[in-house]
Chains A and B, each alone.
Chain A
């Protein structure tokens, strides 16, 4: 079995070498940037809006000890059962318990990255339940047996032809390349699922402590149907999603939409607080909220990096990231891709196996600049690098640095190295690009520049003459 690092290097090379796919990714992401710029321009003061949103989330994180119990108590007062889960195991048990208690058979889900984190679908399918993802993008990747490519646009890597082929094969649908017709095929299939499902599972974008409600942001209406039709609604939510007040949503919802999809506000922003109340005509008989820690408290304990918990999962940092544009989403091998994924995955899954994500960064700062809640992403990538070096400074690396400093302190040796390098450059021409080339790893994908005709020192001497 390959390590996460080997897998990453293998997949990155493959995607980066596929010109068509890269072109496709780039063009869809550049469309996003244009739309977003226009939407952002309608804010009277986007910079202040961002600062205020960052502050709301800072306060939420630093007062989590008070907000979490307030949130849970308010939910319980309205008849919601709250499940506190330390890890994926706890959460899977809690969810399975609810499903068994109702003798449920079919389950419909609306997009929820937290359930990806705990591999819920795999478990439920192994237990013999029918689980259907109702978000169109999620539905497509589920049919392909794949993980989401991007945590906001799960199927962004697929062209319509591939989706047509998939639907024909799995749904026996008619041949069509039209996105509208493809969407309608999925709509047909999923419509019946909402009506038949015993249990609906959703995520939550925010948890409002003050009122005991969850807030769900979506465009398709699938989350509304998932939480309206089945008898039981289970919402799975990371503990960091709690915010203090309902009114905070007036700022956070437009910011999430603008940064996430370039929309002014997404199609549906719903707040749910409880199952059907007295006097209401529909809605589930039971509502459960699964509150998941899963190493979030480990990140909270990090005094420098806890602000990564402010993330509202808008996906903006992926969309502008030069690394994401070149290696794509699946290469990361993580639930959360892109810069935010590279920052938090080492905390959630362990630094030693996942530090390579922080190494694979251009440190250009585009992610930090775009983040609507001002997470200092690129500095966190540097902090991860520092932490991993402190933890297990590589023997090879320290030897390399010793040799480097030995050479640099001896100008004659440095000069000699330069001369030998030039000779080597000429001599290596015949083997250039083959596996015999000592610089193969570099030259396989890049050009190695020809050395200058004269060194800096030579030129310096000449000019002083």
Chain B
């Protein structure tokens, strides 16, 4: 009898150890992107403690994973960075296709080029990058990138850009008709010339504090994301999201699990939880970006009538994972611009 008890005790200890490791889940997501209400609900439901850290650019997330042992169980990069992370072997194969969450995903987001086998990622939110104007500063039409890149008199010196080239260069390419990830120097020189000509009218290249800067009319036009414009407009700012005829830059963020994550099971559990219809709706209402999973439409807050930002009528082109040669040209444009 005694050896058995001992074995039982040893098993109990052995089981208790991983249970302890399973007790926490570390998220690395876009800043303020996950509904705090849902995190509390998940903690109450599962007893898992959730820690969150935020990033402000895909590059930051990639750099952290490349530096190794990030300590995170879930990261939420955009589509082109999901592709890069998969190619670089930075992600855990979570068999996304077999998760309950996968059944909730809209068919149009399945089997995409960044994760054709649906092995690594479950989409969380999608939207566009464009620009918004403050109507107290500028009243003219906002149907073209020309307003942003070659500002009219009211916006001179009152345009603000982002501190990273990723989406900004993409927008310039849409405006000029240059394909994304172009490796053609002559074409990229055109992008550089456009941004250089715009620079005297740019007040700041900054991805921080945009809401404040645009809402208080410190600047009149700002490069920004659809849902953030929506939220700030709902808070009473007199701003409008442009629908440039040349198109908007599209993005889709997904849940992925870094290779070697301590709590893969907890991560899967969280992804499934976030994709349940009721929770996805709460998340949609909180985050104000379009949802790639099924929603409870009776409870969804945003419709084409009250949130035109989320339902653009102009073409949307998704950022791609550029080759190193193309990325070097993007960097050259940016470094020469800010040298």
A, B bound: no
Q: Which residues of B contact A (CB under 8 A)?
A: none
Q: Which residues of A contact B (CB under 8 A)?
A: none
